[in-house]
Structures are given as C-alpha cells and as structure tokens.
Chains A and B, each alone.
Chain A
C-alpha cells in the first residue's frame, strides 16, 4: 500500500470515524432495531486506556468497523506556559509531558536551547545524559511490560513489572533526587554530578536485570494464551507507518530499522555498540518483543557507558548560563548576585528557530523552539511521538474484536500527558 492509498483509505471507507461526539450521540438515539451497527464510547475513564484516552467505536456486533480517538482530556496548556518560563525553568515544564520517560523531553528541550546558544556541552555531561536516558528507557519499557500484561489479563505482570521498575526508579532517585519529573537535564549540562557509588548501583541493576527479563520470557513470551492474544492482532505495515508519520517501536515492528540513535546520532551514540531491534509482522506481539529486547540493548549501552565515562565538568563553565558553584555563594557577593540573576531573570538566547530531536522510548521526540532574543522562548513546541502514533489506532483496530482493541491501545503505549500536552 502506498501513501496515497493510505490517504484514500482514511478519507473514504476509512478506518477513521469522522463524526463529532454530539453527532455520535444523535445517531445512536435515532438508530432503530434493524440497524445492527452501533456507536460505543470507551473512556475517558477506563482502566485500559492508559489515562484519559477516549475512543468512539462503530461496532458491528463485536467487530470494530471504524473508530476515532478523542483526545484533549489532559490538555495542560504546557506550550503556552512555556512562553512564560525562562530557559532554565523550561525543563520543569516539559518533563511533565511524557511522565514515563521525562528525561527525554528535558533532553530535547536542552538540546534545542543549546543549539540556539551555540553551546558545546562538556563530554562528561553528554555521557551522564546518555546514562540517564538509557536508565529511563529501561524504566519506561518496564512500565510498558507491567501495563501491557495487565491490559491483556496477565494481572500478575503488574507486580513483576513494577518490581524491576522500582529498582530503576531508586537509582534515578539516588542520582536526581526524584523518582519522576526529574528536571535533571538542563541547558548547559546536567543539574548535578553523579553521586559517590553510582557505578556500583548501576552495576547492581544491570547485573540483576537480565535474569529478571528472562523471567518475563518464561512468564509471557512462550505463553500460549499470551501469544494468542497478541500475535496477528493490530497489524500495520511499513508504508502505512511512514505515511502516518509513525516512529519508534511501532515503525520498527514492521521490520523497518529506523532509530535516531543509530541513524542520526546525537549525544555520543555514534560511539556505542548496540543493535536496533526490529520485528517482522508489525503486530502487537512484535511490539511487545521489541520493547523487551530494547531493555537488553539498553543494558548493553549502560555497560559501555560505565567503562568509558569521562571525567571533567558536568555542565559548561559559561558564566552566562551556569549558576556559580554553591560554595562560592557564601563567599562572594558577586556570586550571590550572579546566582540570583540567573534564577530570577534567566539568560538571553539569540533569536532564531531550531528543531532538535531525540529517540524516546516511543519514537522521535522533537522540540521546535523559536527565540526572539529574550529570556523566555517565543514559542516552544514539542512533537510528541505518542500524539502522532495514536493515529494508527483506527487502522489497527479495523475488523478486529473489541477485546483486541484493548491489546492494541496498550501496544501503542501512548502517554496521554504527551499526547495532549
């Protein structure tokens, strides 16, 4: 199927239901007994929709004919709020978008700001960022394993997934001070250097995880019921994915190897040795398996980071963007003024516009930033991968059972905070 075919399919006898909510209700009220199709509402408060996603499903018996994701129930106005926050406060805002992988939004924001400033980040900061991102990718994919299992009905996966995720969160807490919404990666570097003993902690984690992942394999991968629920469900092909702008594990599940970390490297990923995991059939099972194996790849990357972590500064020594060291504030009046200025007024960023992107656990996460030369962004836009990926839902669901719909939503792994922003 080419891109134009996909367009035709979406416009005409498409998988997408194109009526408003009110029309849906009216149609439902007018329908008579001989009319076998019905419009069903799912969400926004529903256990399997990962927060506040709402779906309108046009059903023929138990078969889904067309569907429409209705979003916006978590619209937070973050892009508007970003226009009132300085560049230093910005990460606080964007980190709350994708709350399963907050560090990636911070990274995209910081990279965009640094590109406008023309800043070069010191090597240690780059590597710390990479370390944090891979840890975060692990915790995000573990969350997927937990919720995916629960949605399918393997409720005990909830416990297993959280058991491991909790350890990853502990490590993140040791390093950043918070379990979630870290605000750790900031323009110019990271907020703090790694604490003493971080190496041992990371080692403990990556030593123990592979055995736990094998446990997941035993519990799920070879399990006939689990496979039955996922294999051949929610199939999508490469052309459709590209036409829809889909990125991340969904695109890779169709057998198309595209990963920004390898293909358009940022940070120091070009020095890392890792594999891009792809699927074959583009179904829910492939997406599950890709995420599971991406955890293994992240462990490989972490091991390399441990070996090669450089020494040096964890943020640039540029007086303009870096607050003075804490100890200096007690000694010097200038340092105190400097500190105060940076945190109240922020720093000015040269006018311009830039787009910076990173590979988040859900796909390409981009930050488009426009500066007018003042201390706050003139416009800040986040291209959330979940937002775009959500458009695949109607296509994957068409012709499937309503029970499969739950598996499909879960396999897209949308984070509504990022969808609605």
Chain B
C-alpha cells in the first residue's frame, strides 16, 4: 500500500512504461480509469499537473524488489485518446478494452477495440459520472 505514484503526461506514457519495464517491473497488474467530472478543480495533484476530466491509472508490479508503481495519466474529455500499452505488455488488452467500454477512452493501436462487457450495440459508457446508475425506484407493494 506504500506504492509509489507517478504522474505521467499522456504523450510520455509509453516511454515511461518501457523504462519501468527495463527497471524490472515485470507485469502490468491493472489498467483502470476515474471520471473526475464532479471535481474539476481538485487539489490532490502536484502543481505542475493540470487536472483533466479523465484519469487513467496503470498499476505495475516489480517482483525482484517487491513493490508496485501507479501511473496516473490525465486524459482530457474533448480528446479521450491514449496510446495502447499492448506492445509492451500484451496483458493490458482486456483491461484496456474494459476502460474503453466503460469510459469511452480510445486506445490508439489497440488490436481489438470492440466492447468487452456491454452488448456491442450498447449506447453510452456506464462508468462515466454522467451516465445514470439506471435505478428503477423500488415500489413497496402492500404486504398483505
């Protein structure tokens, strides 16, 4: 839980990950994203990083010196694209597809950019904050 956190500019993600791979980070554990729609001016970022709507979170693990590193990448809402990590770590394929499906972030160069969890004809990206949970109000029928 004392993982190191790196803030990486979007265009340097691939290089950073390649560098980390050479340092002994053997696996990408997780690729996910957060939609900060409701927190445009959040303050938890270092001053040189300007917040954007989406944040891509990539977790890598090193086995030789056990530890994880978490990369946080700001992705703007008007151009939600990131270069794929597939060529470095093919295991990111499904994870990136999930992020694309759930958040609508496009991974450039991804070999199979289809929806993974939702039906292919589904509209919208469920984990975005402006997608409603879709709750049906619970009706309590008279209990006899």
Binding site for B on A (CB under 8 A): 3-4, 6-7, 10-11, 16, 18, 20-22, 71-72, 75, 77, 79-81, 83-84, 111, 115, 242-247, 258, 263-264, 351-357, 364, 366, 368, 370, 372, 378-379, 381, 383, 387-388, 390-391, 420-421
Q: Does B104 contact A (CB under 8 A)?
A: no
**B residues near A79, Cβ cutoff 8 Å:** 102, 127
**Is B87 a contact of A4 with CB atoms below 8 Å?**
yes
A256 nearest CB across to chain B (Å)? 9
Known: A18-B112, A354-B1, A366-B30. A75 touches B94 (CB 8 A): no
Quick one: closest B residue to A23, CB to CB? B114
Select which of B90, B95, B111 is within 8 A of A3 by beta carbon: B90
**A residues near B70, Cβ cutoff 8 Å:** 355
Known: A245-B28, A355-B68, A356-B1. A72 touches B117 (CB 8 A): yes
**Is A390 a contact of B94 with CB atoms below 8 Å?**
yes
**Is A258 a contact of B63 with CB atoms below 8 Å?**
yes
Determine the main DSSP class of A at the interface with B: mixed
| 30 A-B pairs (CB sep. < 8 Å) | A3-B89, A4-B87, A4-B88, A10-B111, A11-B87, A11-B111, A20-B120, A72-B115, A80-B127, A243-B27, A243-B91, A244-B89, A245-B91, A245-B92, A247-B27, A258-B63, A263-B63, A352-B44, A353-B44, A357-B68, A366-B29, A366-B59, A368-B30, A368-B32, A370-B34, A379-B35, A381-B30, A383-B29, A383-B30, A388-B95
Inter-chain CA distance A225–B55, complex, in Å, is 52
Quick one: closest A residue to B43, CB to CB? A351
Inter-chain CA distance A242–B89, complex, in Å, is 9
**Is B94 a contact of A72 with CB atoms below 8 Å?**
no
**Is A75 a contact of B117 with CB atoms below 8 Å?**
yes
B102 nearest CB across to chain A (Å)? 8
B114 nearest CB across to chain A (Å)? 5
**Is B117 a contact of A420 with CB atoms below 8 Å?**
yes
Q: Which 10 A-B pairs have the closest CB atoms?
A: A245-B91, A244-B91, A72-B117, A383-B30, A75-B117, A7-B90, A381-B32, A18-B112, A242-B26, A379-B34
A404 nearest CB across to chain B (Å)? 22
Binding site for A on B (CB under 8 A): 1, 3, 21, 26-30, 32, 34-35, 38-39, 42, 44, 57, 59, 61, 63, 66-68, 70, 86-95, 98, 102, 111-112, 114-120, 126-127, 131, 133-134
Determine the main DSSP class of B at the interface with A: loop
Inter-chain CA distance A368–B55, complex, in Å, is 13
Select which of B29, B35, B131 is within 8 A of A245 by beta carbon: B29
**B residues near A22, Cβ cutoff 8 Å:** 120
**Is A387 a contact of B94 with CB atoms below 8 Å?**
yes
Inter-chain CA distance A80–B89, complex, in Å, is 27
**Is B89 a contact of A372 with CB atoms below 8 Å?**
no
**A residues near B38, Cβ cutoff 8 Å:** 372
Inter-chain CA distance A390–B34, complex, in Å, is 24
**Is A80 a contact of B119 with CB atoms below 8 Å?**
no
Inter-chain CA distance A79–B32, complex, in Å, is 12
Inter-chain CA distance A81–B134, complex, in Å, is 10
Select which of B61, B63, B88, B116 is within 8 A of A72 by beta carbon: B116
Quick one: closest B residue to A391, CB to CB? B94
**Is B120 a contact of A80 with CB atoms below 8 Å?**
no
**Is B112 a contact of A77 with CB atoms below 8 Å?**
no
B38 nearest CB across to chain A (Å)? 8
**B residues near A263, Cβ cutoff 8 Å:** 63, 66
